[in-house]
Amino acid sequence: MPTWIGFLRAVNVGKRQVRMQTLRELLVAEGYEDVETHIQSGNLKVRSATRSAAKVEADLRRAISAAFGFDVPVIVRTPAQLSRLADEAEALESPIAADARRYVTFMTGDLDPKGVEALHAWDVATEGARVVGNDVVLFLADGVQAARLSNARLEKLTGAVGTSRNIAVVRALADKWGG
């Protein structure tokens, strides 16, 4: 039975509250096994007989959105994909300041090639981006709040939905749940 690592978009900000214990109970009731969560930002691990990432994403989104009363996009990766992404994101050379903070934006589906080109060509001294597979590694010297490379801009350029985590969380999840 495959294991899936899920990333919930925009939970536990403002009125979009999702208690992790309630989430775990919901997913067990939905038939998922070995359900775990990590911190409050919407990171989870489940086992499911479903072998399609797209089907797991859709089923999780349906169940979570219905239970909590607002739309919750979910992006899933296999443990091996998560470990590989964490390693590659950490190994990338920063296109800006060497000490820039790193973030990974997990994206749904295929990315628009023109958007990928635009991200790689992004010309802001304090921001840079590199695409790894279907995900985006952000380099931000001035932090997330000041970034022009916002989640909304990433989604507009790539044509995909995304949710970001800092590299420390990505590494912790890869070490905890990666394959």
Give CA–CA dist 138/157, Å, rounded. 14
The answer on 59 and 132 residing in a single domain is: no
Contact call for residues 158 and 129 (beta carbons, < 8 A): no
CATH number at residue 38: 3.30.70.1280
98 forms bridges with which residues in the sheet? none
- pLDDT at residue 179, rounded to an integer: 77
For the entire predicted model, the pTM comes to: 0.95
Of 77, 108, 131, the domain-final residue: 77
Mark which of 52, 77, 102 sits at the end of a domain.
77
Q: Is 125 exposed, middle or buried (0-12, 13-18, 19+ CB in 10 A)?
A: exposed
Residues 50 and 85 in one domain: no
Q: How far is CA 44 from CA 4, 38, 77, 86, 110, in A?
A: 8, 6, 11, 16, 22
* Domain, as residue range, for 94: 80-177
Q: Kindly state whether residues 158 and 90 are assigned to the same domain.
A: yes
The answer to whether residues 177 and 7 touch, using CB atoms and an 8 Å cutoff, is no
Q: What is the pLDDT of residues 35-64, one digit of tens each?
A: 999 998 899 999 999 999 999 999 999 999
CA dist 157 and 146 (Å) reads 19
Tell me: the pLDDT tens digits for 62-93? Answer: 999 999 999 999 999 999 999 999 999 999 99
What pLDDT shows up at residue 149? 95
